[in-house]
Structure 1
Amino acid sequence: MSPILFYGVPEGCSFGSIVALEWSGLSYRLCRVEMPEMVSSDDYLRINPVGETPSLLLEDGRVISESMTILQHIGARAISTGRGSAQGSEGFDRLNQMLAFLNTSFFKAFGPLWYAFEHPLEPQQKQALAAYGIAAVEKAHHMLERLLDGREWLVGNGPSLADAYFVGIARWNDFHKVVDRQEFPSLHRLYERMQQQPAVRFAHAIEHRQEANSNGGFLGEIDLAEALGLLKQAA
């Protein structure tokens, strides 16, 4: 059995894990999880009791979750590709630090906006949440611009797992229309550069159910019922 990534749509942060798998050269399959309906269903809760994506079902039947864990797992299995680094190395520490920032400050900044979008609220509550979210997103963009400091990539001299995770979150700004990304030149250039990556174009096509051309080890999609059957067999 090849690993199966459970990815959330629309706009799931699992986008970065799809990109990472494409880069890795590992054989893998994908399972689409519609949010919020499927992700909170009893069937998916058997995969991930927290009811979040992404999750990764491994060959031995283990399931791991949380983007940082999945990205580091992929990186550890694909060190030869240059996307990950050995634990304990300077490269690993730099990657882990950047992933931690993206997973907390950058990801978290959009939380109030998503909550206001997804939940019925009184107008004043929605307005207050939106204002808080906008301020947080602006601050996070300023912080990431400083961390980039004019460099082309977040970590090292080429695209890394951090850039894969970044591009899946940064697109939320287009959805919520918070900041003009061009006001953050290094961040803007990174985002546009990532759009040219074949793995990013592949992930976009997968999410939108368009023709998707894999340059990696993609073996096709699988539905949740079939994935649960494989999980049961592996148990």
Structure 2
Amino acid sequence: MIPTLFYGVPSGCSFGSIVALEWLGEPYRLSRVEMPADVTSETYRRINPVAETPALMLGNGRVISESMAIMNHLGWLGIGKGLGFPQGSDQFDLFNQVLAYLNTSLFNGFSPLWYALEHESDGSSKDALRTYGATLLAKAHADLEEMLRGKKWLLGERRTLADAYFAGIARWTKYHDVLDRRDYPAVQNLFERLEDDPGVRFAHAIERGEKSISNGGFRGEVSLKDALHLRQQAS
């Protein structure tokens, strides 16, 4: 069995894991998980009990969840392509540091904004959430602008899976009109460069349910039911 990534739609942070798999170039499948209906179902909880995407089912049926864990696993597989680095090296420490920043500061900056958008609340509560989220995101973007000083990609002159993860989160500004990314030129340039990347364009098409051409190892989509059956066979 080849690995299967369970990705959430619409606009899940699992987007970055699709991009990472495309860049890696090894065979993989995808399984679409509608949010919130499918992701909280008993069927999907048999894949990931905490009911979140992404989750990566390996060839032996073992499942890895949480974006950072998946990126570190795929990064190890992509050391030869410069997408990740050997554990214990200075480069690995920097890679892990940047991933952690994206996963905490940038991701969490959007959390109050998503809550305000998806939950009913009075005007003052919603305004407070949006103000808080805007403050967090302004700081995160300023920090990223500084991190990118003199660099083409987040870690330097070559793209890594940290850039793939960034692509999936940075696009969320389109849902929340609290920040103009153009005020941060280096961040905007990185975002635009990634939007032109074939792997990122592929991930966008996959999320939209459009026919898409993989430049990596994509071997088609499987349903949750079929993915569970494959897991039982592999175990």
Normalised by the length of structure 2, the TM-score is 0.97
CA distance, structure 1, for counterparts of residue 20 and residue 159 of structure 2: 10
Correspondence for 1:165: 165
Give yes or no for contact 1:45–1:51 (8 Å, CA) kept in 2: yes
Give yes or no for contact 2:130–2:178 (8 Å, CA) kept in 1: no
Gaps of 5+ in 1: none
Give yes or no for contact 1:5–1:55 (8 Å, CA) kept in 2: yes
CA distance, structure 1, for counterparts of residue 174 and residue 63 of structure 2: 32
* Amino acid in structure 2 at the alignment position of 1:68: M
Give yes or no for contact 1:25–1:78 (8 Å, CA) kept in 2: no
For structure 1, which segment, 205-214 or 119-128, has the greater mean C-alpha deviation from structure 2 after superposition?
119-128
For structure 1, which segment, 72-81 or 14-23, has the greater mean C-alpha deviation from structure 2 after superposition?
72-81
1:80 aligns with 2:84: no
1:118 aligns with 2:118: yes
* Amino acid in structure 1 at the alignment position of 2:180: D
* Amino acid in structure 1 at the alignment position of 2:6: F
Give the Å deviation of 1:123.
2.4
| Match runs of 1:77-116 below 5 Å | 77-116=77-116
| SS of corresponding position for 1:151 | coil
For structure 1, which segment, 82-91 or 118-127, has the greater mean C-alpha deviation from structure 2 after superposition?
118-127
CA distance, structure 2, for counterparts of residue 48 and residue 108 of structure 1: 21
CA distance, structure 2, for counterparts of residue 161 and residue 131 of structure 1: 31
For structure 1, which segment, 177-186 or 96-105, has the greater mean C-alpha deviation from structure 2 after superposition?
177-186
CA distance, structure 2, for counterparts of residue 139 and residue 121 of structure 1: 26
CA distance, structure 2, for counterparts of residue 117 and residue 224 of structure 1: 28
* Offset from partner CA, 1:11-33 (integer Å, 9 cap, x none): 11111100010011110000000
| Match runs of 1:2-151 below 5 Å | 2-151=2-151
Give the Å deviation of 1:160.
0.8
* Amino acid in structure 2 at the alignment position of 1:17: S
Give the Å deviation of 1:120.
1.8
* Amino acid in structure 2 at the alignment position of 1:82: G
Give yes or no for contact 1:47–1:55 (8 Å, CA) kept in 2: yes
Overall identity of the aligned pairs, in % = 57
Give the Å deviation of 1:149.
1.4
Correspondence for 1:155: 155
| SS of corresponding position for 1:83 | coil
* Offset from partner CA, 1:84-126 (integer Å, 9 cap, x none): 1111111111110100000000101000001111112222222
Give the Å deviation of 1:232.
2.1
Normalised by the length of structure 1, the TM-score is 0.97
| SS of corresponding position for 2:39 | helix
Correspondence for 2:199: 199
Equivalent residues, number: 235
RMSD of aligned Cα (Å): 1.0
* Offset from partner CA, 1:169-227 (integer Å, 9 cap, x none): 00001121221111101000000011111100000010011121101100000111101
Give the Å deviation of 1:45.
0.8
Give the Å deviation of 1:78.
1.9
